[in-house]
């Protein structure tokens, strides 16, 4: 019988903990002895190290990626009566954050090759209430920036980046997260940079936006603990920051391992009748997920499961199709590309500690399903 110990897992945050166990355990011990457990020196250091990594002057640690999006939107002055254009083909968190800010999501379709916001849909979604475009670098693939930034500039819209799946990804040699007015990162354990709990970060070039997020994350406090505005409680804790500082040092190396595994998948799966994920020209994909597309997705998935291979589906439904959102009329135009992707996508195992042998095993099982002999 196959069990969790000999399955090939889709993601494996424990393997990464084990890789860095000594250093992480030491960082946790030191933090425990430090006597400060929330928003202390570890958080401050991690904020400046992460800002430097992304290539922006300001980073503000918060409780989750969802909160980072929410507070970044609020800091941009987006709220009730405003509309934010984003995609339905994303984690629910993207759309939830827009609603947390009190704004109305206007969901547009993706382009079929790269699964990211289709810039051709922007004009149809624009209304007099539109204030921002929230782009998602899905699976680690940067969005098609030039037409999106042009459109935002022409119509005076804010651009906010959801970088929850794209730590380290690059467009034209610059890291994503450094293009928009603000960007949000998640440190959920399975992300490319993952804590051992929850965490998030808002980053920006704009000192005033950063100051706003700093206030909003803690009751609207200024430096003297007077609430200057109504805020929330969304803080990053010291232990998570200490762990993230350890892992940030090897993020590029870990992403490189992901990219090598993606290249191996690409080579071995060429004979299978599958759509393999391309990399946008002039970009560096962070390979958060390796997502193939098959008309027989569900059958392929159960074939792999029987062989002890775990896969996931990102995403089985667009946000607009899910129970909480279905009757809310959030779509702006057709979402048929989103809906057909939802029927066909499959996320194969992908994490830095996955071995080449395991990738070969996965590919062999896929080729067997496709009736093609492994080469
Ligand atoms: C994970 C994720 C989020 C939310 O991050 P949390 O830390 O779980 O709140 C937002 N957007 C996308 C695209 C994600 O993958």
The listed CATH number (3.40.50.720, 3.90.1150.10, 3.40.50.1460, 3.30.1330.60) that belongs to domain 251-370: 3.90.1150.10
Cα of 230 vs centre of ligand 1, distance in Å, is 24
* Mutation to probe ligand 1, out of 69, 86, 91, 117 (largest number of atoms < 8 A from CB): 91
In 152-162, which positions are buried (b, 16+ CB within 10 angstroms) versus exposed (e)? Answer: beeeebbbbbb
Q: Say how many Å lie between the CA of residue 199 and the centre of ligand 1.
A: 10
- Rounded mean pLDDT of 24-46? 97
Give the Å distance between the CA of 146 and the centre of ligand 1.
Answer: 24
Asked whether the CA dihedral 342, 168, 60, 150 is positive or negative, the reply is negative
Q: How far is the CA of 97 from the centre of ligand 1 (A)?
A: 10
CA of 92 to the centre of ligand 1 (A): 8
Q: How confident is the model at residue 273 (pLDDT cuts 50, 70, 90)?
A: confident
* β-bridge partners, 170: 175, 284
Strands 130-136 and 174-175: unpaired
Does the predicted TM-score (pTM) go above 0.95?
Answer: yes
Largest distance between two CA atoms of the chain: 69
Q: Do domains 15-248 and 251-370 have the same CATH topology?
A: no
List pocket residues of ligand 1, CB cut-off 6 Å: 64-66, 90-91, 93-94, 136, 162, 164-165, 186, 188, 198, 200
Task: Give the position, in ligand 1's atom list, of the atom nearest the Cα of 165.
Answer: 15
Task: State how far the Cα of 89 lies from the Cα of 84, in Å rounded to an integer.
Answer: 15
Q: State residue 372's pLDDT score.
A: 78
| Cis peptide leading into residue 315 (ω within 30°) | yes
Spatial CA neighbour of 129 closest among 154, 103, 109, 107: 103
Q: Where are the domains of the chain?
A: 15-248, 251-370
pLDDT at 140 over 90: yes
Closest by alpha carbon to 280, among 137, 90, 182? 137
- Report d(CA 73, CA 82) in Å as an integer: 11
With a cut of 80, say whether residue 373 has pLDDT above it.
no
Domain covering 15-248, topology: 3.40.640
Of ligand 1's atoms, which has the minimum distance to the CA of residue 64? Answer: 7
Q: Which atom in ligand 1 lies closest to the alpha carbon of residue 199?
A: 7
Q: How far is the CA of 337 from the centre of ligand 1 (A)?
A: 22
pLDDT in tens, 217-249: 999 999 899 999 999 999 999 999 999 999 999
Q: How confident is the model at residue 1 (pLDDT cuts 50, 70, 90)?
A: very low
Q: Stretch 187-207: mean pLDDT, rounded?
A: 98
Distance, CA of 169 to CA of 148 (rounded, Å): 18
What percentage of the chain has pLDDT greater than the value 70?
A: 98
pLDDT tens-digit readout, 94-106? 999 999 999 999 9
Residue 6 pLDDT level (bands cut at 50, 70, 90): confident
For residue 375, the model assigns a pLDDT of 54
Nearest CA to ligand 1 atom 6: 65
Instruction: Tell me the C-alpha distance between 258 and 190, whole Å.
Output: 13
């Amino acid at each position: 019988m196959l069990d969790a110990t000999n399955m090939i897992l889709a993601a494996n945050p424990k393997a990464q903990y084990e890789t860095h166990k000594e250093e992480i355990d030491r960082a946790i011990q030191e933090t425990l002895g430090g006597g400060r457990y929330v928003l202390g020196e570890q958080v401050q250091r991690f904020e400046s190290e992460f800002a430097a990594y992304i290539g922006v002057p300001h980073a503000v640690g918060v409780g989750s990626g969802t909160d980072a999006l929410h507070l970044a939107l609020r800091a941009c002055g987006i709220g009730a009566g405003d509309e934010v254009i984003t995609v339905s083909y994303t984690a629910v968190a993207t759309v939830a954050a827009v609603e947390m800010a009190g704004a109305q999501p206007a969901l547009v379709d993706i382009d079929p090759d790269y699964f990211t916001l289709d810039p051709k849909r922007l004009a149809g979604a624009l209304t007099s209430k539109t204030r921002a475009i929230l782009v998602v670098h899905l699976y680690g693939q940067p969005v098609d920036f030039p037409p999106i930034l042009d459109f935002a500039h022409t119509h005076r819209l804010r651009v906010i980046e959801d970088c929850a799946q794209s730590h380290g990804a690059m467009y034209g040699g610059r890291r994503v997260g450094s293009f928009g007015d603000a960007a949000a990162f998640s440190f959920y354990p399975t992300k490319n940079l993952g804590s051992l709990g929850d965490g998030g970060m808002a980053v920006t070039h704009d000192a005033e936006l950063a100051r706003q997020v700093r206030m909003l994350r803690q009751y609207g406090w200024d430096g003297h603990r007077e609430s200057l505005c109504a805020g929330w409680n969304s803080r990053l804790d010291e232990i998570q920051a200490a762990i993230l500082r350890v892992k940030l040092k090897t993020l590029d190396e870990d992403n490189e391992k992901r990219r090598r595994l993606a290249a191996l998948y690409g080579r071995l799966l060429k004979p299978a009748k599958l759509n393999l994920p391309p990399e946008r020209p002039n970009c560096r994909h962070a390979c958060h997920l390796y997502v193939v597309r098959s008309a027989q997705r569900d059958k392929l998935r159960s074939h792999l499961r029987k062989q002890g291979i775990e896969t996931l589906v990102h995403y089985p439904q667009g946000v607009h199709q899910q129970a909480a959102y279905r009757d809310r009329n959030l779509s702006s135009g057709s979402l048929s590309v989103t809906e057909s992707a939802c029927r066909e996508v499959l996320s194969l195992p992908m994490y830095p500690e996955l071995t080449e042998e395991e990738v070969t095993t996965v590919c062999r099982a896929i080729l067997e399903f496709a009736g093609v002999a492994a080469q």
